[in-house]
Structure 1
Amino acid sequence: MNVLLINGSPRKNGATAKILAEIEHRLTEHIQANCELVNISELDLEFCRGCSGCYRTGACFIPDNAENLSGKIARADIVVFGSPTYVSGISGQMKTFVDRGHFVIEQLLTDTYTLSVVTYENADGSSAAGILEKLCIFSGAVHCGNITARVSPGQNPLAVRRIEKKVAAAVKRLSRAALRRKKRNLVQAIIHSAVFNIGIKPFILKKPDAYTGVLEHWKKRGIGGVSV
């Protein structure tokens, strides 16, 4: 299985990165995995300019690393998102990529197994985890849970037994879901169906010329029974 772990922290060796590395290690004990960990902070990644050109052409015109990372996500069987919480949400690095990543409209995570990791010191860890969970479910994933870890600056989160146990349980749950090709649970299925079939699909089909790239993507991946 292809596993992609995305570190949305500006720190390559911080608490978020340490948990992602532990997830990578534990996953290889459960499944045969080809793992890659990507640090968003190392990428050339500009802000979204809101031109909507990617919806029409299928790709962003900005010549940076966003399209390459989106392609890796599309080819992955498992994607793990990691982000620290600094002020009431996911990191700026992660948000920049989310804006560029073709996630919800193109249903980038269709049938992908996902897990989210959020580190925080004081508050709002659950809020940031909710943002990533919503992103995954709205984008078609089978979301296998969230790991929230409250840590102090400079603290190794894996030295905290409670956090270590969370990581072990989450990896076991994720690997089992992927190996058994588990479907979305009922709540996720209802939420995704409402988002896609009531919100996204009718909207796109009303403006096919403006969303040619999206429709081509759906067709290639067999999404929504759409033909163009």
Structure 2
Amino acid sequence: MKKDIKIVAVISSPNFNGNTASLVREALNGAKKEGASVTEIFLANYNLEFCKGCLMCNAKGKCPISDGFEEIRKLIYEADGIILGSPTYALEYNAQMKCFFERLGTYTLYSSLLGGKYVVGISTSYNKNGARKVAKKLTGVFKFGIFKRSYISGTLGVHTMINGVEKKICENTDALNKANKLGRKVTQDIKYNNRYPFQNVIMRLVTAIYLKPIFKKFILENKEGKERASYSSLHERGLI
């Protein structure tokens, strides 16, 4: 049973006290009550540039852009569980969250540096189905573990428009309770090493049979050059 548990929340809402941020913080409260140490990353507080698609992270293990992202990357890599929160914009997560995913880079993907971690997705929207869709979409990057899989502890989508009137989350005790339970759940999953054997099973089979051999060959062929950092990370962790 894991004892020292780190949970990091990434909030992409531009509204510090908005509905999405409030739900994510309530999930962090739940995680904290289960004994986890918690950290909040409010993306709007960071000076983040857009990914330039240079792929240098694969060779160097970090992004060449000098801004606040490497601080975020370190927290993500050290975390056992990650809570992702974004408002729903046109049935998608917002641009700040998209920037966050892109800045994690192909290095994170190729090296499976999200492998072994547990994730929760939280979103709010005027539309119930939209919020649920985006909450699930937030966890999508965790489904694609080439060399080591990740786990999805759950999602929460909350609609905030009731009878044509937007409601504040502070008035929605049911949603807050669900967020708190989700924070507790992700911490318990980590604590008791819940493996979810049937989660994403089809994608895992496709990855194991088809994608992993392709990526492995590519990384080995370029381990002294453009995939130097990817190879080093995988080799150090016994994954290649």
In the alignment, structure 1 residue 76 sits paired with structure 2 residue 76: no
Aligned CA distance change for structure 1 residues 193 and 132 (closer, same or farther; 3 Å) = farther
CA distance in 2, matches of 1:193, 1:52: 27
Q: Tell me, what secondary structure is at the counterpart of 1:5?
A: strand
Q: CA RMSD in A?
A: 2.1
Is contact 2:7-2:31 (8 Å) kept?
no
State, as a whole percentage, how many aligned pairs show the same letter.
21
Equivalent AA in structure 1 for residue 136 of structure 2:
G
In the alignment, structure 1 residue 106 sits paired with structure 2 residue 122: no
Deviation at 1:4, TM superposition (A): 0.5
Partner of 1:145: 154
Count of aligned pairs: 223
Deviation at 1:112, TM superposition (A): 0.9
Is contact 1:16-1:119 (8 Å) kept?
yes
Query: 1:14-33 residue pairs with structure 2 within 5 A?
Result: 14-30=18-34, 32-33=35-36
TM-score norm. by structure 1 comes to: 0.88
Is contact 1:19-1:158 (8 Å) kept?
no
Aligned CA distance change for structure 1 residues 138 and 54 (closer, same or farther; 3 Å) = same
Greater displacement, 175-184 / 186-195: 186-195
Deviation at 1:126, TM superposition (A): 2.8
Equivalent AA in structure 2 for residue 166 of structure 1:
K
Is contact 1:118-1:149 (8 Å) kept?
yes
Greater displacement, 12-21 / 198-207: 198-207
Equivalent AA in structure 2 for residue 21 of structure 1:
R
CA distance in 2, matches of 1:185, 1:172: 20
Q: Which runs of 5+ in 2 are unaligned?
A: none
Is contact 2:120-2:154 (8 Å) kept?
yes
Is contact 1:5-1:79 (8 Å) kept?
yes
Partner of 1:181: 193
TM-score norm. by structure 2 comes to: 0.84
Q: Tell me, what secondary structure is at the counterpart of 1:70?
A: helix
Is contact 1:204-1:211 (8 Å) kept?
no
CA distance in 1, matches of 2:87, 2:24: 12
Is contact 2:28-2:180 (8 Å) kept?
no
Partner of 1:198: 210
In the alignment, structure 1 residue 219 sits paired with structure 2 residue 235: yes
Q: Tell me, what secondary structure is at the counterpart of 2:176?
A: helix
Q: Tell me, what secondary structure is at the counterpart of 1:62?
A: coil
Is contact 2:26-2:176 (8 Å) kept?
no
**Which digits, 9 at most, give the CA deviation of each residue in 1:82-130, with x for residues without a partner?**
1111122111000001001134223121111111111111352233223
Greater displacement, 161-170 / 7-16: 161-170
Query: 1:84-123 residue pairs with structure 2 within 5 A?
Result: 84-102=87-105, 103-122=108-127
CA distance in 2, matches of 1:175, 1:24: 10
Query: 1:120-135 residue pairs with structure 2 within 5 A?
Result: 120-122=125-127, 124-135=130-141
In the alignment, structure 1 residue 50 sits paired with structure 2 residue 53: yes
